[in-house]
Structure 1
Amino acid sequence: MDREKSTNNRRTARWMSGILAGGTVLTALVAGGSAASASEPAAAAGAERCHTSELAASATYTDSGAGSAFGTVNLTNTGGRTCYIKGFPGLSFVAGDDGHQVGSPATMIGDQGDPIAIAPGQAAHAEFATSNVDAYDAATCKPVPVRGFRVYPPGETASLFAPYETRGCSAPGVGQPSVKAFRAP
Structure 2
Amino acid sequence: MVYAPRSARHGALLVGTFAVLGLLTACGNSSHDVHSNPPLTSSGTAAPATGGTRTPGSATPTPSAAATGPGAAASSAPHATASAGGGTTSTGAASSRCHTSQLRASVGRNDPGAGQENFPVVLTNSSAQTCTLHGYPGAAFVNASGGQLGPDPKRESGSPATITLRPGQSAWAGLTFSNPGVSGARTATPAALVVTPPDERDSLKVTWAGGAVPVGGNSSSVFLSVFTPGTAP
Name the TM-score, length of structure 2 as normaliser: 0.56
CA shift for structure 1 position 163: 2.4
Task: Say which of 174, 178, 193 aligns to 1:127.
Answer: 174
**Alpha-carbon deviation of 1:159?**
0.9
Which of 104, 120, 127 is the equivalent residue of 1:79?
127
Which residue of structure 1 lines up, in the alignment, with residue 114 of structure 2? Answer: 66
Deviation at 1:74, TM superposition (A): 0.3
Deviations 1:126-152 (A, max 9, x none): 122122122244xxx331111231111
1:88 matched residue in structure 2: 136
- Structure with the greater alpha carbon radius of gyration: 2
- Residue 61 of structure 1, CA deviation: 2.1
Q: Secondary structure at the match of 1:63?
A: coil
Alpha-carbon displacement from aligned partner over 1:156-183 (angstroms, at most 9, x marks no partner): 1111112232212333785132111001
5+ residue gaps in structure 1?
1-39
Whether the 8 Å CA contact 1:126–1:180 is kept in 2: the answer is yes
State how many pairs are aligned: 143
C-alpha spacing 1:112/1:160, structure 2 compared with 1 (3 Å):
farther
Judging changes above 3 Å, is the alpha-carbon distance between structure 1 residues 134 and 70 closer, same or farther for their aligned structure 2 residues? same
One-letter code aligned to 1:110: S
Give the number of the structure whose residues are more often strand, by fraction. Answer: 1
Amino acid at match of 2:186: K
**In structure 2, do the counterparts of structure 1 residues 75 and 172 end up closer, same or farther at CA, with 3 Å as the change threshold?**
farther
- Where does structure 1 differ by over 4 angstroms across 4 or more consecutive aligned residues? none
2:204 and 2:217 mapped to 1: Cα distance? 22
- TM-score, normalised by the number of residues in structure 1: 0.69
Residue type of the alignment partner of 2:156: I
1:181 has 2:226 as partner: yes
Query: Is the contact made by 2:104 and 2:123 (CA closer than 8 Å) also made in structure 1?
Result: yes
Would the aligned equivalents of 1:102 and 1:168 in 2 still touch at CA under 8 Å?
no
- Write the distance in 1 (CA, Å) between the matches of 2:105 and 2:171: 10
Q: In the aligned structure 2, how far is the partner of 1:76 from the partner of 1:108?
A: 21
Q: Percent identity?
A: 30
Q: Whole-Å Cα distance in 1 between the matches of residues 167 and 94 of structure 2?
A: 15
The one of 154, 158, 163 equivalent to 2:202 is: 158
Q: List alignment gaps of at least 5 residues for structure 2.
A: 1-77, 81-89
RMSD: 2.2
Change (3 A) 1:101 1:41: farther
Q: Post-superposition shift, 1:46? A: 3.2
